[in-house]
Amino acid sequence: MQSARAKWGDLVVGGVLILVAWYVIDTASTFRGDGWLTPTALAYLIGAGGVALIGQAILASMRGRTATASTAPSTTATGPTGLDLIAMLLPAVLVLLTIAYVALIPRIGFYLASLAFIPAVLAILGMRRWWVYAVTALGFVAFVHVVFERTFAIPLPRAAWLSGIL
Amino acid sequence: MSDLMVEGLVQVFEWRNLAAVTIGTLLGMMVGALPGLTATMGIALLVPLTFGMPADSGLIMLTAVYGAAVFGGSIPAILLHTPGTPAGAATAIDGYQMTLKGQGGRALGISAVSSATGGMLSALALLLIAPPLATFSLRFGPAEFFWITVFGLTIIASLSHGNLLKALIAGAVGLLIGTIGIDPFTGQRRFTYGLPQLFDGVSIVPALIGLFSFSQAMILAEERWKPRLQGFLRFTWRECIPSVRDYLRLLPLILRSGGLGTFVGMLPGAGGDIASWVAYSEARRYSRKRDQFGTGIPEGVAAPEAANNAVTGGSLIPLLTLGIPGSAAAAVLLGGLLIQGLVPGQRLFIDHGAITYAVIFSFFVANILMLALGLLGAGVFQRVNQVPVSVLIALIVALSVIGSYALQNSLFDVWLLLLFGVLGYAMRKLGFMPAALVLGMILAPIFERGLRQGLSISRGDISYFWASPISQFLIALTVIALVAPLLLERFAPARHRKWRAAKSDD
Amino acid sequence: MRLAIATAALAAFGLASIGSAAAEYPERPVRVIVPSPAGGSTDVGTRILADAIEAHLGQRWVIENRPGAGLLIGMQALADAEPDGYTLGYTHQPFLTVHIYVNEADFTFDSFEPVALLVDDPNTVAVRVDSPFESLEDLIAAMRERPGEITFGDTGYLSDDHLVTVAIERAFGVEANAVHYDGSAPLRAAVLGGHVDVYVGNVGDTKVTYDEGQFRVLAVATEERIDAFPNTPTFRELGVDLVASSARGVSFPAGTPTAYADRMAEAIAAASQDEDYLRRMAEQGLAVRVLTREEYGAFQAQRMEFVRGLLEALGEL
């Protein structure tokens, strides 16, 4: 089941690669000077890679066995392999939270945004002890202030309406 | 040993210089371990602090920061698969696998001894044979740089882990991403969509943090109810100190990688990131344990760590003898030298001999200190397995965001981080190696520049690219790199082949 | 410290009236946008000045590096900043002109209120010490003989060095083969390694290699001979009116009260008399050249015209 999904994954990736290659070749044709090798030849290569990927997936399914070679290697560096959609729910929420975090930084400043973001991540990941929330968020803010602003003198984004205090 | 050398050696052991080397090493390790704060960045931001310091102490502190930051990058790379600097990315592959196998302490220890040995080897080269080496490095022109990158691309094969096609695709996409930005020869804006932030190309550091660290946070988030990291539960302090047998077994590899790193460090434009990948790939190519690379073996940590720390001394060779910095960090060190009234060049060793030798000798002290702190610290760093996974995830993401921002004070880079984080996650899920993509991105600008410069200088005559003996040597090396694995396979002992066949079945 | 700033900020909200503001300016630290990375020569120079200026300004400079796109990002950030006198930033020639005309920047020359020129690093033309070109005349003669063959290395397409190559081509009616490098270090390595014939750079970078006895400097693009290379003729002496440099000055965003700009210019001028400051800048190879506000404005306008002409010659306009 998982490898069947992975095979569909390969087909989609192959299609995307071909589209990217086509777009790059088309755009690069308007470039002045010599773009024949970078990026045009590269794009042809990527397009060929996409075709090969699709071919591999189709061949593997025609041979009637799971395309072991094309699924993720069984190394645990990739975590649970394959496309387990339920497992991807929390990572997706994490990405959404991070988007909100980055969008908030210019509006309420880096410190306030971090004080909101870190507890939110802990909450969705099921942290139950309240003091961990406080220690993590405040500890992070204090650490960043001392290291980045004090030691290295990197000014961090602050909210204009807080008159540059936070 | 000349009088100036002795004077310099004595100077190193003055208390203020020992204090400088200690502070520099501690700050450097911290800078290196944090995502976004690279060695270059750390030195740049500390240069103003040295304005008021005596020349020797200031420079000793800055060089200590350099070496320690490069080593510091390996610590989170090993424990969390989140390299702190681009130079630590290659270490993440086998280092993190060792952690998952419960050998995190051993990996940290091997990283510390390899880094210190590599660093000292390069300092020895700096001390003894800097002038001839620097003169030799000048013979590398556009054609030679071009072939180095072509050779570098052969590394992709060694990152493939059983799927060459996907590794090649990832590498090619990396190269394509690397060509985004203003064409260096025509001024043509390529795929910049009117965004000035893309004119210089996609910034490597946010992309790297995204592909390695952010994607790692996403993977860790998959299993909500797992309170602790799996794997390195039993992990004692004793384990962190490599055995003499381990060390002696790895020593030839460490020295080889260190030599390679010293040389790559001397070339302006090629730094620790490239050196560590080349060393990793070379270690694998000529190892009898070729198939175990990527599964968590000490060789996969020792080679890149020896090489990237050797870059530190190597990059000072052309800096001190010719005034030409061999890496971005060395370029920043140049500012630190000048502010103390030390103008680099052959006369530096005469006019300011004592200080210059003091700085070189302090390299040895810094590396020994780094080794001690690294081994001692390993006992503390391992406590990361006591930290709840949810806290780790929150901190990895928040540090990645601040690190990407701080590098150029740019929120755009933070959005890049997010984009590459999601890309890295998708790649890992679909069996593509993010490392191959990073390699392509790092090599593309050097590849393109070498090619264009060469074609421009030779006015289109491509024979320019194989005219010099160094070019021919690099071409031969590339061909060997492509053919050797096939030959080795063919003539490998039967027993080995059988084991391989069983292994490649999975 | 933070509390002190907070109190000051609150006081500013509550008490200060517009009229008395000029006398008290500046009331808080001034942000200075450096359009290049931390550790580069512009950054180090700014930090040296920041060290010196506090005594004369009564407030600190807080440096914010906004590198990228050949200074475009930093200059754009300056143009977009609040014109309240608390954001100062670099306006660099020729990059300012290049970005306005070639890279469709969202700012123009009028987006800035010039404050002062700080560093003026003249362009130089040099060769390796064993090169057959003993003088600029030799070089030009060789270029006439073999048009388009002599390689001129510079630090990037449309950088100040590249524009000097273009200016030489135009002034002498010759053709060079421009080869673009990624900064001064790789370029100097290429010239010393014999991969490129001619080095086009700035005095600051050239001097290190010259003092080492590895470079022969053929000409400097200044009005008069300079101390760094007393035996090197200027282009003017050679009959060509070519004066070019990497000129780094600071400006406020347009709309900043002129009284603030005057106050800042005054503090910079005072700091530029500091011996410590001048010594440190000299050690970095940075040529300090302070112009008044009016002079700096006129200087910029004149450089704009010069660079525009070169861009036209290149077909970039």
Q: Looking at the predicted structure, is the pLDDT value of residue C18 above 70?
A: no
Nearest CA of chain A to the CA of B266: how many Å? 27
CATH number 3.40.190.10 given to C122-220: yes
> What pLDDT is attached to residue C15?
41
Comparison of pLDDT for B373 and B162, the residue scoring more = B373
CA distance C235 to C39: 32
Q: A151 at the C interface (CB within 8 A)? A: no
- Cβ contacts of B391 on chain A, cutoff 8 Å: 122, 127, 132, 136
CB distance A155–C5 less than 8 Å? no
- Which whole number is the average pLDDT over B471-492? 80
Which residue of A32, A90, A102 is in closest CB contact with B401? A102
Instruction: With CB atoms and an 8 Å threshold, state whether B323 touches C189.
Output: no
Q: Do A95 and B218 touch (CB under 8 A)?
A: yes
Please work out, in degrees rounded to the nearest 5, the angle formed at the alpha carbon of residue B440 by the alpha carbons of C158 and B309.
Answer: 95
**B308/B325 Cα distance (integer angstroms):** 16
pLDDT at C16: 41
Q: Do B409 and A99 touch (CB under 8 A)?
A: no
- Considering only CB atoms, B196 lies closest to which of C73, C148, C283, namely C73
Contact B110, B302 (CB under 8 A): yes
B188–chain C nearest CA distance, Å: 10
User: Which pLDDT value is given to residue B491?
Assistant: 66
pLDDT at A34: 64
Q: Read off the DSSP letter of residue B52.
A: G
Q: Which of A153, A155, A165 faces C6 most closely, judged by CB atoms?
A: A165
Whether the pLDDT of residue B92 is over 90: the answer is yes
Query: pLDDT at position B493, please?
Result: 54
Residues A153, C64: C-beta atoms closer than 8 Å: no
Amino acid in position B249? R
User: Taking Cα atoms as reference points, which of B86, B496, B275, B296 lies closest to residue A77?
Assistant: B296
Q: Give the chains touching C; criterion: ≥3 Cβ pairs < 8 Å.
A: A, B
Distance CA C101, CA C308 (A): 8
Q: What's the pLDDT score for residue B36?
A: 79
Q: From CA A162, how far away is CA A104, in angstroms rounded?
A: 14
- Asked if residues B367 and B67 have their Cβ atoms less than 8 Å apart, the reply is yes
Whether B328 and B270 have beta carbons less than 8 Å apart is answered as no
Element at B182 (helix H, strand E): strand B181-182
For residue B231, give both structure tokens. Answer: 């794997």
- What integer pLDDT is reported at residue B127 of this predicted model? 92
Do residues B471 and B144 lie in contact, with contact meaning Cβ atoms separated by under 8 Å? Answer: yes
pLDDT at B38: 87
Query: What whole-number distance in Å separates Cα of residue C122 and Cα of residue C222?
Result: 6
Predicted pLDDT of residue A49: 94
Q: What confidence category does residue C2 fall into, taking pLDDT thresholds of 50, 70 and 90? A: very low
Mean pLDDT score of chain B, rounded to an integer? 87
**Rounded-to-integer distance, Cα A97 and Cα A99, Å:** 5
Give, in degrees to the nearest 5, the angle at Cα A164 between C260 and A123: 160
Q: H or E stretch including B181?
A: strand B181-182
The chain A residue lying nearest C82, using CA atoms, is A160
Name the minimum distance, in Å, from the CA of A2 to any CA of chain C. 44
Which of A80-84, C59-63, C161-165 is predicted with the least confidence, judged by mean pLDDT? A80-84
Class of domain C30-120+246-314: alpha beta
With beta carbons under 8 A apart, name residues in chain A contacting C2. 165
Question: Chain C residue with minimal CA distance to A156?
Answer: C64
Is the pLDDT reported for residue B246 higher than 60? yes
Q: Do A118 and B395 touch (CB under 8 A)?
A: yes
pLDDT above 90 covers what percent of chain B? Answer: 47
Contact call for B138 and C148, based on CB within 8 A: no
A157 touches chain C (CB under 8 A): no
Quick check: ipTM above 0.85?
Answer: yes
Per-residue pLDDT band at C19 (split at 50, 70, 90): very low
Answer yes or no: is pLDDT of B402 > 90: yes
Measure CA of the first residue to CA of the last residue in chain C; give whole Å. Answer: 51
Q: Band of the pLDDT at B261, cuts 50, 70, 90?
A: very high
In chain A, the residue whose alpha carbon lies closest to the alpha carbon of B448 is: A38
Q: How close, in Å, is residue B470 to chain A by CA atoms?
A: 24
Residue B155, pLDDT > 60, answer: yes
Query: Which residue of chain C has the CA closest to A149?
Result: C62
CA distance B262 to chain C (A): 17
pLDDT of residue C12 exceeding 80, the answer is: no
pLDDT at residue B396 tops 80: yes
Q: Pick the range with the lowest mean pLDDT from B227-236, B285-294, B324-333, B398-407.
A: B227-236
Task: Judge whether residue B505 has pLDDT over 90.
Answer: no
Task: Answer yes or no: do B190 and A31 touch at CB < 8 A.
Answer: yes
- Write the residue in A20, A84, A148 that is nearest to B406 by C-beta: A148
Contacts with A56 from chain B: Cβ below 8 Å: 165
Q: Supply the DSSP string of chain C, one letter for each residue.
A: -HHHHHHHHHHHHHT--HHHHHHH---SPEEEEESS-TTSHHHHHHHHHHHHHHHHHSS-EEEEE---TTTHHHHHHHHHS-SSSSEEEEEEETHHHHHHHTS--S--GGGEEEEEEEEEEEEEEEEETT-S--SHHHHHHHHHHSTTTSEEEESSTTSHHHHHHHHHHHHHT---EEEE-SSHHHHHHHHHTTSSSEEEEEHHHHHHHHHTT-EEEEEE-SSS--SSSTTSPBTTTTT-----EEEEEEEEETTS-HHHHHHHHHHHHHHTT-HHHHHHHHHTT--EEEE-HHHHHHHHHHHHHHHHHHHHHHT--
Query: How confident is the model over B471-479, as a mean pLDDT?
Result: 92
Strands C87-93 and C61-65: unpaired
| C6: chain A residues, CB-CB within 8 Å | 163, 165
Contacts of A114 in chain B (CB under 8 A): 398
What is the amino acid identity at position B349?
A: F
Neighboring chain B residues of A53 at a CB cutoff of 8 Å? 165-166, 169
Instruction: Count CB pairs under 8 A between chains A and B.
Output: 205
Ranges of each domain in chain C: 30-120+246-314, 122-220
Looking at chain A, which residue has its C-alpha nearest residue B171? A46
Touching partners of A (3+ C-beta pairs < 8 Å): B, C
The neighbouring-strand residues paired with C119 are C248, C288
Rounded average pLDDT over B141-155: 89
Inter-chain touch B51–C40, beta carbons under 8 Å:
no
The CA distance from C63 to the nearest CA of chain A, in Å, is: 8
Q: Is C16 on the interface with A (CB under 8 A)?
A: no
Q: Sort strands C30-34 and C61-65 into parallel, antiparallel or unpaired.
A: parallel
Residue A37 sits at the chain C interface (C-beta within 8 Å) = no
Interface size, chain A vs chain C, as Cβ–Cβ contacts under 8 Å: 16
Residue B237 to chain A, least CA–CA distance (Å): 24
Beta-carbon separation of A76 and B97 below 8 A: yes
Percentage above 90 pLDDT, chain C:
72
Contact between C281 and C288 (Cβ < 8 Å): yes
How many CA atoms within 13 Å lie on the side-chain side of B217? 32
Largest CA distance in chain B: 66
Range of B340-344, B380-384, C176-180 with top mean pLDDT: C176-180
pLDDT at B100: 85
User: Residue A18: what pLDDT?
Assistant: 95
A64 pLDDT band, cuts 50/70/90, is low
Which residues in chain C have Cβ-Cβ distances shorter than 8 Å to B142? 190, 195
Contacts of B451 in chain A (CB under 8 A): 37-38
Distances (CA, A) of C235 to B288, C62, C119, C142: 64, 39, 21, 18
Q: Which residue of C has its CA nearest to A163?
A: C9
Mean pLDDT of B8-24: 92
Span of B15-19, B324-328, B345-349, C302-306 with lowest mean pLDDT: B345-349
Which chains sit next to B, with 3 or more Cβ pairs under 8 A?
A: A, C
Strand partners, C126: C199, C217
Residue B375's SS3 state is helix
Which residues in chain B touch residue C62, judged by CB atoms under 8 angstroms apart?
A: none
- pLDDT tens per residue across span C125-160: 999 999 999 999 999 999 999 999 999 999 999 999
Do C30-120+246-314 and C122-220 come out as alike in CATH topology? yes
Residues in chain B with CB shorter than 8 Å from the CB of C43 are 44
What token pair was written down for B115? 């880094």
8 Å CB contact of A165 and C64: no
Half-sphere exposure for C255 (CA within 13 Å, toward CB): 11
pLDDT tens-digit readout, B418-474 = 999 999 999 998 989 898 999 999 899 989 999 999 999 999 899 999 999 999 999
Percent of chain C with pLDDT over 70: 93
Q: Residue B393 is inside which H or E element, if any?
A: helix B389-408
B382 pLDDT band, cuts 50/70/90, is confident
Minimal C-alpha gap between B396 and chain C (Å): 24
Chain B residues whose beta carbon lies within 8 Å of the beta carbon of residue C189: 137-138, 140, 268, 318, 322, 324
pLDDT tens-digit map of C68-110: 888 999 999 999 999 999 999 999 999 999 999 988 888 999 9
Q: Tell me whether residues A165 and C62 touch, CB distance under 8 A.
A: no
**Minimal CA separation from C77 to chain A, in Å:** 14
Four-residue CA torsion sign, B436, B442, B445, B447: negative
Could you tell me which of B505, B451, B460, B502 has the C-alpha nearest to residue B146? B451
CA distance C14 to chain B (A): 31
- Element containing residue B41 per DSSP (H, E): helix B39-46
